[in-house]
Structures are given as C-alpha cells and as structure tokens.
A and B are shown apart, each in its own frame.
Chain A
Amino acid sequence: GAGVSQSPSNKVTEKGKDVELRCDPISGHTALYWYRQRLGQGLEFLIYFQGNSAPDKSGLPSDRFSAERTGESVSTLTIQRTQQEDSAVYLCASTPNSYEQYFGPGTRLTVT
C-alpha cells in the first residue's frame, strides 16, 4: 500500500520568506509526528498529533513554527520568516496506534 508521502521533496527559499511543508500519512493512522534533522544529526521532535486530541507542540523551537492537521489526514508544517538555521530535512511519520513509526521521505529545506 501507499506509504507516507511528503511534498515538496526539496525547497529552496530566501531568508524571511514563509514556507509550507505537507505530509500525507498512511490512511487510517491516527498519530502523526513531525521531526527535524540537521545535517549529520539525529532527529529532533517538533510536534505530535493524536486523533482529535490537542497536539503536543512541546518540540517546536520558536513561535515561527506551527502545524495543522485536519482530522486524521493531511498535515502541514508552516515556518514563518525563515532563518538560515531552519535549513534541515523535515520528516513526517505516522503510526496506527502502535509503537513503530512509518516515515516519509522528508522535505529538504534550504534557506539562503
């Protein structure tokens, strides 16, 4: 079946611009996570959605970052007024209430 998809796969933007990253989870997966991975580093948790519960935003690094999810479907991660330190791969994962997380291919964001 279809896995987690993310778009765009690559995004180059100028400092100060806003960007929107999209994640399509696997159908039926109730939980969705966003992570950030800087070059050569592990993954940093950003935000977590579980069903209709309030999202866990504890990992968002600043108020320039926000995310939404409509029901148990698509999620968008928005970064406002991008900075060079926002350059990273942004990874989305979903899970059907189990422990194993299924990752998308990521969006590589480059802020120039």
Chain B
Amino acid sequence: SQQGEEDPQALSIQEGENATMNCSYKTSINNLQWYRQNSGRGLVHLILIRSNEREKHSGRLRVTLDTSKKSSSLLITASRAADTASYFCATANSGNTPLVFGKGTRLSVIA
C-alpha cells in the first residue's frame, strides 16, 4: 500500500521559477525522504528529514515537515531544465525498514 500522496501529480514551470511539491502521509514516521527519478529508472536520494526536524536545506532544495498535519513539502528554487524528472516522497517508520512511496510528481521545467 502507498502511504505518501504527492500533490500535484504533474507540474510544468519555466526555467528560473520555483517548484513546490507536497506530500501527505497517513501513519507516524521516523523519517521522510525525497527521491528523484529520471526516465522511469533508478531513483536518486535527494534529502532526508527526521520526524523531530521541521526544515532542512540542501543546495537549491528546501524540505519542510509538519508532523501534526502529516505533510511535507519540497521546494526547488531557481529551477533548471535538468530538474525535469519525477519526484517521490517516501516514509520510513523506523530505521532500515522498507520505504513507503507515493505516486510521485512529474515536474517539467521548460527552458
């Protein structure tokens, strides 16, 4: 079963704009992770936020977590055409357990 639900399902923006993707989940978690997938193949880990953290930054990425609302957002600033990909949130209810993925957001960045 899928726990995370990303919103929107698809997003199209111009290069240079910011992209915001949201994720909601259902049960308590240990951590939440965001992954990027190009061309429907291997996933690349972007960032992890633990349940006791509220915000985390990595380069042009900013992730927030609101455990009271069971939601997270991923912000990509100053987007580039190379950011075009599908983005998935995944939750873990403890360390080293299988991740539960959402269906993803397909981001298209138009040059």
Contacts and interface: CB of A to CB of B under 8 A. Distances in A.
Interface string B36-62: 000011111100100000000000000
A101 B100 CA distance: 12
A84 B38 CA distance: 25
B80 interface: no
A67 interface: no
Contact of A103 (B40, B44, B92, B97): B44
A43 B88 contact: yes
A47 B68 CA distance: 30
A79 interface: no
Interface residues of B, number: 26
B92 A42 contact: no
A101 B31 CA distance: 13
A106 B42 CA distance: 6
Nearest to A30: B96
Contacts, number: 65
A104 B99 contact: no
Contact of B96 (A31, A40, A45, A106): A31
Interface residues of A, number: 30
Interface string B77-106: 000000000001010100111111111100
Contact of A43 (B45, B95, B97, B101): B101
Contacts of B30: 99
Contact of B99 (A40, A45, A89): A45
27 contacts: A31-B96, A37-B40, A39-B40, A42-B4, A42-B88, A42-B104, A43-B43, A43-B90, A48-B97, A56-B98, A89-B40, A89-B41, A91-B42, A91-B43, A93-B43, A97-B96, A98-B95, A99-B30, A99-B95, A100-B45, A101-B33, A101-B43, A102-B45, A103-B35, A103-B42, A103-B43, A105-B41
Interface of B: 2, 4, 30-31, 33, 35, 40-45, 48, 88, 90, 92, 95-104
